[in-house]
Chains A and B, each alone.
Chain A
Amino acid sequence: NAGVTQTPKFQVLKTGQSMTLQCAQDMNHEYMSWYRQDPGMGLRLIHYSVGAGITDQGEVPNGYNVSRSTTEDFPLRLLSAAPSQTSVYFCASRPGATRTEAFFGQGTRLTVV
């Protein structure tokens, strides 16, 4: 039981490049979320999903896309990377609406130059 797995752990992008951050969970959780963590800002919600085929925007969705084709996977796409997207990204999953404890991946540290 691996929990929540994020790949890659580190990534450097040039401005304008696109990439996908991968997130997979093996706990059959309904809810999955993406957060970004910046110094002094805590964690801010980017996008979240309450089940396969259902996604919604969080607090800071601009510049990011998500999809949820399976229960296990919730990739985060950066369409055209900008230096403002330099951050640490965390994926989290939760069992569902009645249990809201979140399980986090180890994070992806992204630098956009």
Chain B
Amino acid sequence: SQQGEEDPQALSIQEGENATMNCSYKTSINNLQWYRQNSGRGLVHLILIRSNEREKHSGRLRVTLDTSKKSSSLLITASRAADTASYFCATATSGGSNYKLTFGKGTLLTVNP
């Protein structure tokens, strides 16, 4: 079964507004990552937060991680039409020396001009 579940499934906002997406997961993780996918394209890595971190920033992106609740959120500030895409969380779990990277079902973000 899939590890991460994003919420909401779809989000529509106006340009300039902030967008918040949430991710919940089930088992212990090494780190959690967020990816972006433009329509018809491959996924692009956005940001990684390790299990011992609580918050991380990268440009207009802010990610939080609450390991006690097994949840993470991605905040995109001052959104632009070009931010329209699907956003996925992915969790890296460790099993010996092997790391699986498993993805959620994604949030489709639409930013209206």
Contacts and interface: CB of A to CB of B under 8 A. Distances in A.
Interface of A: 4, 31, 33, 35, 40-45, 48, 50, 56, 58-59, 90, 92, 94, 97, 100-107
Contact of B103 (A35, A48, A103): A35
A90 B105 contact: no
Contact of B105 (A33, A42, A59, A97): A42
Given A42-B2, A42-B88, A42-B106, A97 B97 contact: yes
Contacts of A35: 103
B65 interface: no
Interface of B: 1-2, 30-31, 33, 35, 40-45, 48, 88, 90, 92, 97-106
Contact of B99 (A44, A97, A104): A97
B98 A50 contact: yes
A42 B97 contact: no
Interface of B (DSSP majority class): strand
B101 A42 contact: no
A107 B105 contact: no
Contacts of B40: 107
Contacts of B98: 50, 56, 97
A100 B48 contact: yes
A101 B42 contact: no
B103 A42 contact: yes
Nearest to A94: B101
A102 B100 contact: no
A102 B90 contact: yes
30 contacts: A35-B103, A42-B103, A42-B104, A43-B103, A44-B103, A45-B100, A45-B102, A48-B100, A50-B98, A58-B100, A59-B2, A90-B43, A92-B101, A94-B99, A94-B101, A97-B98, A97-B99, A100-B31, A100-B33, A100-B48, A100-B99, A101-B33, A102-B45, A104-B43, A104-B44, A105-B42, A106-B41, A106-B42, A107-B40, A107-B42
